[in-house]
Chain A
């Protein structure tokens, strides 16, 4: 196998493992938290900004790549920052009843 093929096989392997991991992790999330879940995963795919940075960094090879890379960095960072901030605002609000009435059942 050439180096390129080996790399590809490795990449496909982790891709498939990530699929199962994604299913596994999510199946334990209660409906109560489905909105923050969606918003939180939304923030995680903001990792696209890393790809955008790589493209922009190679942008000295031509103005087209530079412009496209720059735009991608702008969009990607909006995704990351906005995603995490929105999710944090949502999760901040989920509180248990304040200590006044302690008899509520635990939701574990």
Chain B
């Protein structure tokens, strides 16, 4: 296949990727867009395969069967609640592939210069591209793996910190950049790229470890942007347009998405990434938890069922606890039953509830909740004052009134769902332990609040059973 023809076919792929993103602006045809993107990807892969010629076609097929088979099975089998870690995993392997390409390209160039040209060096742009994509790809790979491990609870979700952490990370990063510059300047000893890639991986690990579970959505989004960037730069090494455009589309959109999420939490990116969120507050939470906050009212499922059944308007506020307990289907059932009794039911979704942006939307969509019932924060907040019962299912920080009033709180300034404006607040919670971020929540001590302790799924099932008898 000629170079011109393949470039034109790659252009088709590029257009489908843009359409795929464009179609995501409306849930009605978002799925179609994704399928168009997948078709365009297939075009790019087939074109490349044909171009690869006869030498390695079977190796490519075997490699794709292994990788693709793993990807397909993992993506099919995974539960909806485990989506965030799956996205992290697939993002990580993409970053890993970009780093490997950098390794291979430098090797090839070095060999070429020694054996064919007998010295000399490649152009600066290629060297810079190799150094950068190796570094960024490795950071993205290792960082995503740690994010995966945290979300999968292979390692603790709480921030892991030690003295001098930020300084240490900065020194490491500065050192790596130094090596990357040396590489760019034409020092082509191959051990340097190994240091850049290996050190990048180490940095990825150290950089994600101190970030608390609650901030994972932002981290995954950022690492997604990193992988896109690494892929785009890889396109410079291989002089391949489709890699440059597709990679940069992801790099740019991922960056914008990350910034939008930071804005939803009213925190700067620097604050999110370097403040080891939640760790500072461990002692504060311990103090507040010790009787200081007032009394907590707990209620039985029967009491709450009566409140719900005779309400005019009930708003469910889901959080990560809903995902952990996999209670989305049960919530839907309860909501259906309430609606049958004439109660108006909506869901108030905080932009950063859960472990991915829009995590709750996906879970509730899985339970067939129509997306027209899902209210975003700006739409939901004015409604709470005419809400009879707000049911908080496994959410904590996103309904914490300290974010409005307590300047000492680490989440001060974060926009929250004003559930305390409702007539009554029912909080479904496993125990009085503070949430993932380890922050005490005065909402639980509010006289309007009743607590329903227990696993979210069981509590909801009990409520459903109790509402049925009314």
Contacts and interface: CB of A to CB of B under 8 A. Distances in A.
Contacts of A25: 18, 21-22, 249, 253
Contacts of A8: 125, 236
A70 to B, nearest CB: 5
Given A32-B27, A45-B224, A97-B370, A40 B21 contact: yes
A42 B93 CA distance: 10
Contact of A47 (B243, B351, B365): B243
A45 B101 contact: no
Nearest first, the 6 closest Cβ-Cβ pairs linking A and B are: A22-B252, A82-B71, A77-B67, A73-B63, A97-B370, A57-B52
A95 to B, nearest CB: 7
Given A54-B52, A72-B97, A14 B372 contact: no
Among A28, A35, A40, the most chain B Cβ lie within 10 Å of the Cβ of A35
B94 A93 contact: no
29 contacts: A25-B21, A31-B351, A31-B376, A34-B351, A36-B34, A37-B257, A37-B357, A38-B356, A44-B246, A45-B94, A47-B41, A50-B44, A51-B97, A51-B98, A51-B231, A52-B101, A54-B51, A61-B108, A68-B100, A72-B97, A75-B94, A76-B67, A82-B86, A82-B89, A83-B71, A85-B71, A91-B27, A92-B31, A94-B31
B252 A54 contact: no
Among A50, A55, A90, the most chain B Cβ lie within 10 Å of the Cβ of A50
Determine the interface band of chain A, counting residues with CB < 8 A from chain B.
35 or more
B278 interface: no
A35 B28 CA distance: 15
A42 B72 contact: no
Interface stretch (B74-82, B205-213, B307-315, B390-398): B74-82
Interface string A60-102: 1110111011111111111111111111111111111110000
A50 B232 CA distance: 12
Interface string B41-57: 10011001101110110
Interface string B80-115: 100100110111011011101101110110010000
B423 to A, nearest CB: 25
Interface of B: 13, 17-18, 20-22, 24-28, 30-31, 33-35, 37-38, 41, 44-45, 48-49, 51-53, 55-56, 59-60, 63-64, 66-72, 74-76, 78, 80, 83, 86-87, 89-91, 93-94, 96-98, 100-101, 103-105, 107-108, 111, 123, 125, 220-221, 224, 227-228, 230-232, 234-254, 256-257, 261, 264, 349, 351, 356-359, 361-362, 365-366, 368, 370-374, 376
Contact of A26 (B21, B31, B55, B365): B21
Contacts of A85: 71-72, 75-76
A interface secondary structure, majority: helix
A64 B107 contact: yes
Contacts of B365: 90, 93-95
Nearest to B377: A31
Contact of A96 (B33, B103, B372): B372
Given A48-B247, A72-B97, A78-B74, 17 more contacts: A11-B236, A11-B241, A22-B21, A30-B25, A34-B261, A35-B361, A39-B83, A43-B34, A45-B94, A47-B246, A58-B108, A62-B108, A65-B104, A72-B96, A73-B63, A86-B87, A94-B31
A47 B48 CA distance: 11
B41 A38 contact: no
B166 to A, nearest CB: 27
Contacts of A48: 94, 97-98, 101, 227, 230-231, 234, 243, 247
Among A45, A61, A88, A97, the most chain B Cβ lie within 10 Å of the Cβ of A45
A2 B85 CA distance: 47
A37 B249 CA distance: 12
Given A51-B234, A105-B372, A81 B71 contact: yes
B24 A50 contact: no
Contact of A41 (B56, B97, B242, B253): B253
